[in-house]
Amino acid sequence: MLTRLLRQVIPSAALLLCLCQISAHPVPDSPQWLTYPGSEGPGKGKHIVLITAEQEYRSEQSMPMMAKILSKYHGFDCTVLFGVNDKGEVDPTMPVYPKKGEEADFKTHNIPGLEHLASADLVLFFTRLLTLPMEQQEQIIDYVDSGKPLIALRTGNHGFHGALPYKIDDKIVNFGRDVLGGAFMGHHGRWHADSTRGSIVEAMKDHPIVTGVTDIWGPSDVYRTYKEGTSLPEGCTALVWGQPLMGRKHDDAQAARG
């Protein structure tokens, strides 16, 4: 009787264990971050890490939404990491930075879980003027230096306060200018008054990233990312140009360039 029971139970248990291993998320559950196991889709078996640590755009709310969409409808395993305070609470507030000539007296930011960048196939940064512990900076550098893809949203091009300890040929690498192709150099036009229409570059309309995209508009202004009178950095391909509008409505008139 026992032998017959074991013959029935063991194959079922083995199958269940196999299925759990196949569907296992690469990052363990923790109250310090969010994980979204991927369903079926083109991203199945791939892991995306989304980092939210900025003080202006409420990405601590929008990044989990994006992660759920990517996991549920596209199949990616997703992990959302947050900037937290000393109590372990998600905290997007900005520490007070010292004025020029004053001694620094502020606490660093903290993003638990950055060690999981090692298993990421893509990292999405939404960061702003972070001051991280050296160990966490090195975890970010290791990912950037791996050559795997990354995406930086909005303030990500000035995502760190000061330079990361990252050098190539003894030259400090600037995260915005050298890694992303453009650092923050100010706002175009009327800050907090303009909105922006995205115009897809005609020659790039069949590029996979913009395939199926027909209308881009957002209620915010445009960053300058390189000096006027200069061209995009070598190797940088523009897919969409930002066109400031004279107001916060979708059909407002275009603002003058300059």
Task: Based on the fold, state whether residues 209 and 101 are members of the same structural domain.
Answer: no
Of the three residues 150, 183, 216, the one that is the final residue of a domain is 183
Q: With bands split at pLDDT 50, 70 and 90, how would you rate the model's confidence at 95?
A: low
Task: Based on the fold, state whether residues 147 and 215 are members of the same structural domain.
Answer: no
Residue-wise pLDDT tens digits, 127-149: 998 888 899 999 999 999 999 99
Mean pLDDT score of the chain, rounded to an integer? 84
Task: Based on the fold, state whether residues 48 and 113 are members of the same structural domain.
Answer: yes
**pLDDT in the model for residue 30:** 93
Task: Based on the fold, state whether residues 179 and 191 are members of the same structural domain.
Answer: no
Q: Which of 7-16, 78-87, 115-124, 244-253 is least confident? A: 7-16
Residue-wise pLDDT tens digits, 157-193: 888 888 888 888 889 888 888 888 877 877 776 777 8
Of the three residues 183, 210, 229, the one that is the final residue of a domain is 183
**pLDDT in the model for residue 52:** 95
Task: Based on the fold, state whether residues 122 and 172 are members of the same structural domain.
Answer: yes
Which residue range(s) make up the domain with 233?
A: 185-258
Task: Based on the fold, state whether residues 9 and 77 are members of the same structural domain.
Answer: yes
Task: Based on the fold, state whether residues 170 and 102 are members of the same structural domain.
Answer: yes
Of the three residues 167, 183, 199, the one that is the final residue of a domain is 183
Task: Based on the fold, state whether residues 174 and 201 are members of the same structural domain.
Answer: no
How many structural domains compose the chain?
2
Residue-wise pLDDT tens digits, 12-67: 555 444 444 445 899 999 999 999 999 999 999 999 999 999 988 899 999 999 99
Q: Which of 98-112, 141-155, 173-187, 241-255 is least confident? A: 98-112
Task: Based on the fold, state whether residues 144 and 41 are members of the same structural domain.
Answer: yes
Task: Based on the fold, state whether residues 190 and 176 are members of the same structural domain.
Answer: no
Whether the pLDDT of residue 118 is over 90: the answer is yes
**pLDDT in the model for residue 98:** 60
Task: Based on the fold, state whether residues 10 and 68 are members of the same structural domain.
Answer: yes
Residue 64, phi then psi, degrees to nearest 5: -60, -35
Task: Based on the fold, state whether residues 70 and 193 are members of the same structural domain.
Answer: no
pTM of the model: 0.80
